[in-house]
Amino acid sequence: MVQDKSYAKINLFLEVLGTRRDDYHQIRTIYQEIDICDEITISLDEVLTVEMDYPRSDLWNDLATLQMQDNIVYKTAQLMQKEYNLADGARILIKKNIPSAAGLGGGSSNAATAIKLLSTLWKQNLSYDRMYRTAVQLGSDVPYFLLGGTALGEGRGEKVTKLTDVDLRKILLIKPNIDISSSKAYSILKEYGDNQGWINFCNVSDRRELPVHCFNRLEKSICDNYPEIKKIIDHCNNNGAVNSILSGSGSTVVSFYNEDEIIDEHYRYFNDLGYWACKTSTKH
């Protein structure tokens, strides 16, 4: 049996530079691993199965009806069986804490963690390059989770470069009862950016000031289509947050704080509204 934690991410910066010939978008992003995770346990079995444990069914209604064959971890295991001509099966249990369709990379993180665990369980001892070749077939964010920490993502997000880790201690995640797929988020994007925001972000000399300069190109068009998300961002920014942005393709708002009293107040406020709210920090 093998097991490990599968951490979520936020995007400290996300610029969309244009479209590509493969119908994906050209992006430049800063991935940041955060201290909230799913837990994955895998044991050898004659067949391949994936079981999901949801702590709050109301956050995972769509996933609860998902066929096992459509689960990204199931697809990961199948792909590895095919690539390495493996006859062994596996029983995979995923204890979920990361909401789906939230811009937090839960599924991608699960896939990357499964690659590493199955490499050990099936005695493949895969190198990073071989794991990367599997990861890139599964999704744009999956390669990032092989590295974790703070990293630059380019291309469609799959070209990952490790950066010096960022240390941010007071982060609040707020997810309304809205699910947004990546395809939907990019389909409603109204305009592309350029490199100026990236240059400004990189020129921040004091990394403690990074939250002020965090940015997401997808945010405006998503807020135009989902006013509830804009209300969350405005409430946080108008009531003491350092800055609030959308994470990835949404629908989670990431709010940064300097003071415990304010983050605690906002945490209670959004919980009382029935939103999913979680106090966290960058992973150390």
So which residues are the catalytic ones? 9, 141
Rounded-to-integer distance, Cα 33 and Cα 55, Å:
22
Distance from chain centroid for Cα 176: 16
